[in-house]
Amino acid sequence: MKKLINNPTAVVEEMLEGYVAAYSRYVRQLPQNPRSIVSVNTVRPGKVGVICGGGSGHEPSFLGLIGKGMMDGVPVGNIFASPPPDPILEVTKAVDTGAGVLYLYGNYAGDCMNFDMAAELAGMEGIRVETVRITDDVASAPKSEEERRRGIAGDFLVFKVAGAAADLDYNLDEVVRAASKANQMTKTMGVALSPCHIPQTGLPSFELGADEMEIGLGIHGEPGIQRGKIKPADEVADDLLERIFADMPLSKGDRVVVLVNGLGSTTYMELFIMFRRAAQVLADKGIEIHRSYVGEYVTSLEMGGCSISLMKVDDELARLIDHPADCPMFVQMS
């Protein structure tokens, strides 16, 4: 393991110190809990507060997405671990203006438990909280058990929709509806080429042979669904897309948002080669690409590999996806 760190047990605290110092015009730490990061300029009377969160190691998610048109705050967990209820509750209180708060997070047991506890505590203080758990990972459970699926790179697209809806002054029920629709319409498949190393242990998150890849492996190293020899990029992209199409059939004339997400150490050259093939396949099927995202959005430290997400959009989702956003690690013009 080679990393530019100091004390392995202090990586999250030192990262947050550097992040807040770098982007103080966007974010601040709450004095009562340094793991609670909130926006300095998006909270306003009557606006629904939108919070996402999860473990560290997925940057720019989650804390890089605080800003106009996106998140109002993020509670920060240890590497690949849910934040505990306390920082979640502190962020909730900081972003609530009476219109209620939406929690968004990937569907993992620790996140479900801790965010649910925080929601209960917030309710005791008179704050209405609603939750949308993101379940875009096609590989993690069969179609008949979608509620068990994990949230991976598709998190970003759901965050984008929910943040835009809140910024456009949707009420809480409407923000929940839009985010739920975005989640339902977003499907992701990924491929891993190499593991990441956890700073506290120095050990790889999983093991792959030098000439192997794994389809469907999770962003924390959860087992995938198929392991084999590395194939050319076009074949890998075709495989990922075929699994998405089987889960969410698309027809000629449909519109999609495409996200090709790098997992931490995959070059932009490779990501654009993957996108090139995705664009060819969609064009051959007569499916319109409404908007494209290529880069690192939900990473896994320095894991090698990428994922492809498709969100099928109607007019509302397209409008929300197109809404401007201004965050430390993500900026989008209209």
Instruction: Summarize pLDDT for 164-221 with one digit per residue, the tens.
Output: 999 999 999 999 999 999 999 999 999 999 999 999 999 999 999 999 999 999 999 8
Mean pLDDT across the chain: 97
> What average pLDDT score do residues 145-153 get?
97
The pLDDT, as a whole number, for residue 182 is 98
Residue appearing with tokens 């075929």: 242
Q: Which helix (H) or strand (E) covers residue 291, if one does?
A: strand 288-295
Q: Is the pLDDT of residue 74 over 90?
A: yes
C-alpha 45: how far from its chain's center? Answer: 27
3-state secondary structure 31-86: CCEEEEEEECCCCCCCCCEEEECEEECCCCCCHHHECECCECEEEEEEECCCCCHH
Catalytic residues: 58, 220
SS3 116: helix
Phi then psi for residue 249, to 5 deg, are: -55, 135
The pLDDT, as a whole number, for residue 243 is 98
Q: Is the pLDDT of residue 1 over 90?
A: no
Task: Identify residue 62 by its one-letter amino acid code.
Answer: F
Q: How far is the C-alpha of 142 from the C-alpha of 155, rounded, in Å?
A: 19
Contact call for residues 334 and 325 (beta carbons, < 8 A): no
Q: Is the pLDDT of residue 301 over 90?
A: yes
Phi then psi for residue 215, to 5 deg, are: -85, 130
For 310-332, write each residue's pLDDT tens digit.
999 999 999 999 999 999 999 99
Contact call for residues 308 and 260 (beta carbons, < 8 A): yes
> What average pLDDT score do residues 118-130 get?
98
> What average pLDDT score do residues 132-146 get?
97
Alpha-carbon torsion 131, 136, 138, 139, what sign? negative
> What average pLDDT score do residues 9-27 get?
98
The residues facing 305 across adjacent strands are: 192
Contacts of 320 (CB under 8 A, 6+ apart): 160, 161, 164, 165, 168, 178, 182
SS3 151: coil
Q: How far is CA 23 from CA 38, 219, 307, in A?
A: 12, 26, 28
Q: Is the pTM of this model over 0.85?
A: yes
Which pLDDT band, with edges at 50, 70 and 90, does 160 fall under?
very high
Helical residues (DSSP H) of the chain, grouped into ranges: 11-22, 85-95, 109-124, 155-167, 172-184, 233-247, 268-284, 315-322
Q: How far is the C-alpha of 139 from the C-alpha of 243, rounded, in Å?
A: 8
Which pLDDT band, with edges at 50, 70 and 90, does 334 fall under?
confident
